[in-house]
Amino acid sequence: MRSRIVIKLFTLTTLLCIFILATVFIGHAVIFKHYYVYQKMEEIQTAFHQYGEDYKRANPDKDAQRKLEEDFYQKHSTWITTLDGIGNPKNAEDFSIDILYEWSETVDESLAINIPLHYLISLEDALSEDFNFQEYDGIELFGINYNKTFLPSLIGYSGTIEAIQLAKLYSTELKYFDARENLSYWENDYLKNFMDEFLSEQYEYDHYLLYEDEFVPTESMEDEVLPIERREREVDSKDGDIIFKEGMVVNVHIPNQNDVSIMNNTLFLNKMKEFQASLIEEGYLIGNESEVQISDFNHNDIQYKLISKSITVNDEPLYLLAMTSLQPVDEAMQIVQDYYVYLIILVMLLVIIASFYYSKIITTPLIKLNETTKKIAHLDFTERVEVKSKDELGTLSKNINVLSNTLHKHINQLQDDIEKEKQLENTRKEFISGVSHELKTPLSIMKSTISILKDDVAKHKKDYYFQALEQEVEKMNRLIIDMLDLAKYESGTYQMEMEPFFINELIERISASLNYEMNQKEIQLGKELLTLEVMANEYRIEQVLTNFLTNAIRHTDNKGKITISTSAEGPLVKVSVENTGDSIKDEQLKKVWDRFYRGDLSRERSQNETGLGLAISRNILELHHSQYGVENTKTGVRFYFYLQVHNKKS
């Protein structure tokens, strides 16, 4: 049994722990990433909406708006910016260039056009030596006019754009088409690709030339360059004109690298460029301000989320654009998966140890319980279950111990009852024998007396025989009355009626009635009585005292002494009847209360003795719930009993 239950519990516990561990691992591997992304996006979307409201309240404080972007990144590790209606960053004046489209020896800055540089050149390149525009330097721009705003897709020093087109046409290096050393240029790839695709589709040519404000599509020009022709013609895109411009640099604004936010993130800048290109190409618009668009993209095997929505500030349509990386969760998942290999080994070892220990803890008390119940089943109640845990097993152990004690107690009680029943059967047999004997003697005397009277023998003694016959009838009547009283008391239905009376007065009355019998044996009567009122049935207590006193007179030698005393013991009074004479053997002290008991079998009963007096007295005292007894003294025997003192207040 021990091995079976241990193995079962160990196996089940181990399998359960493995199942839980596998569930946690699979759930973590499959569900956790999605849960993390969902929670993060919910948090970012909530903050995204709040950013829009905060941006409106901060308008037109540009410093406060920049602070909002920085705080958003710090709290959510998410890049965010605000774009104007054509996709340019708001508050971009710190990274831009001011130009005039007309040459002039005096510069009027009020006529200058501000061109943002975010989408054309990185901050790192802007701080390099290649980007070295000075005041009055010539500059060329190629771009698109969208919503009455010029958006350059390419800028460079004077002559650079034409050289680029010629190099493209002849599939050669740029340096061969210009003698100058500086042919540097910078372009917005997303906008440039859109323009190239548009021109190719519009004119179905492989190449085109650009001259100042116009386009010149060309056929194949392998041998010579077509002469420059100026044409007053525009090439229309969907929402604007693709144009070439020349101008003069008025001012260059480049921020301090330490103060830069989004300009340090090339990927986010590219997404801003892509967003602007989609505005121009598709007329990209987002619906109401509560609508948010979320798109996914990967970069260098890292997943990103791009979030966008539109807002309106002072009737100006703006766009909010945010980008967040999911790299932290990917890294965390990878680390956790690598860590799980070691964790699973460790946990499996702990599971095996814990399962075995758990199985031992559970099975040890069960085995003890099984062994104990086996012994109880074979009526061996000496074994006790020593499980003291404060749980169901501990309670079960206590209950089994209680059950064992109860069974042991009841079995012992049953054995005692069986023994008592045997004794009662013997007593019953003795009673029947005694009754038969007690009735047989007076009946025999009566039969003989009647026979004498019938035969008219000894006529001179006729009165004597009638008197003897009357005495035997009286004796039988007394015996039958005592037997009926005894049966009545032992029935369990008899109710004693209690009343207050003075015990000393009752004793005086009884002793006076028995004065004649005591004088015949010259017995000295001593009385040590207190004036006490008791609560009992006076008539039945008189019967008890009469039995005790007559029994004492019967067993007291001539010129002996009988002492009747009362003493108060708290709420009780002790009544004693002591006589001088022979003591009772110890083994017979309890038997004096039995019916028809005779301590000296050789002694005949007196004329008025039935052998039921003490048995009747015992039942009367038990109906009073009284303590009673008999004991040997130095000079004889003492019978005693207790009664309740009457409380007059109650």
- Rounded CA separation 111/455 (Å): 179
Query: Same domain, yes or no, for 476 and 526?
Result: no
Contact 78, 323 (CB under 8 A): yes
pLDDT for res 228:
28
Contact 98, 251 (CB under 8 A): yes
Instruction: Dump pLDDT digits (tens) for 632-643.
Output: 999 999 999 999
Instruction: Dump pLDDT digits (tens) for 586-596.
Output: 888 888 887 66
Instruction: Dump pLDDT digits (tens) for 559-581.
Output: 999 999 999 999 999 999 999 98
Query: Same domain, yes or no, for 427 and 504?
Result: no
Strands 113-116 and 628-632: unpaired
DSSP string of 275-294?
HHHHHHHH-----STT--EE
In-domain check, residue 332: no
Whether pLDDT at 610 is above 90: no
Query: Same domain, yes or no, for 626 and 547?
Result: yes
> Would you call 642 helix, strand, or coil by DSSP?
strand
pLDDT for res 209:
47
| Other beta carbons within 10 Å of 641 | 23
Query: Same domain, yes or no, for 506 and 532?
Result: yes
In-domain check, residue 17: no
Number of separate domains in the chain? 3
In-domain check, residue 223: yes
Q: Is the dihedral of CA 314, 317, 318, 319 positive or negative?
A: positive
CATH number for the domain that contains residue 485: 1.10.287
Angle, helix 189-203 to helix 266-282, in steps of 10 degrees: 30
Whether pLDDT at 66 is above 90: no
In-domain check, residue 143: yes
In-domain check, residue 62: no
Query: Same domain, yes or no, for 598 and 610?
Result: yes
**Alpha helices (runs of H) in 28-61, residue ranges in sequence order:** 33-58
Query: Same domain, yes or no, for 171 and 319?
Result: yes
In-domain check, residue 424: yes
Query: Same domain, yes or no, for 393 and 297?
Result: no
**Alpha helices (runs of H) in 254-391, residue ranges in sequence order:** 266-282, 327-377
In-domain check, residue 42: no
Query: Same domain, yes or no, for 504 and 601?
Result: yes
Question: Mean pLDDT across the chain, nearest whole number?
Answer: 76
Tokens representing 491 are 């029935």
Query: Same domain, yes or no, for 639 and 539?
Result: yes
* Chain mean position to CA 59: 53
Which structural domain, as residue segments, surrounds residue 597?
Answer: 496-645
DSSP string of 398-453?
HHHHHHHHHHHHHHHHHHHHHHHHHHHHHHHHHHHHHHHHHHHHHHHHHHHHHHHH
Whether pLDDT at 539 is above 60: yes
Nearest to 386 by CA among 371, 407, 406: 371
Q: Of 494, 514, 536, which one is at a domain's C-terminal end?
A: 494
pLDDT for res 206:
47
Percentage of the chain beyond pLDDT 70 is 74
Instruction: Say how many CA atoms lie within 13 Å of 307 toward its Cβ.
Output: 25
pLDDT for res 220:
40
In-domain check, residue 232: yes
Query: Same domain, yes or no, for 470 and 535?
Result: no
Tokens representing 92 are 């971009």
When mean pLDDT is compared over 15-24, 316-325, 329-338, 371-380, the highest value belongs to: 316-325
Q: Of 461, 494, 527, which one is at a domain's C-terminal end?
A: 494
> Would you call 261 helix, strand, or coil by DSSP?
coil
Query: Same domain, yes or no, for 112 and 256?
Result: yes
Q: Of 494, 513, 548, which one is at a domain's C-terminal end?
A: 494
Q: Which one has a higher pLDDT value, 534 or 193?
A: 534
Instruction: Dump pLDDT digits (tens) for 214-261.
Output: 444 444 433 333 332 332 333 344 445 677 778 888 888 887 766 556
* Chain mean position to CA 271: 51
Name the residue type at position 461: K
pLDDT for res 102:
63
Mean pLDDT for the stretch of residues 270-289: 73
Mean pLDDT for the stretch of residues 534-545: 90
Query: Same domain, yes or no, for 318 and 303?
Result: yes
For residue 580, what is the enclosing H or E element? Answer: strand 572-580
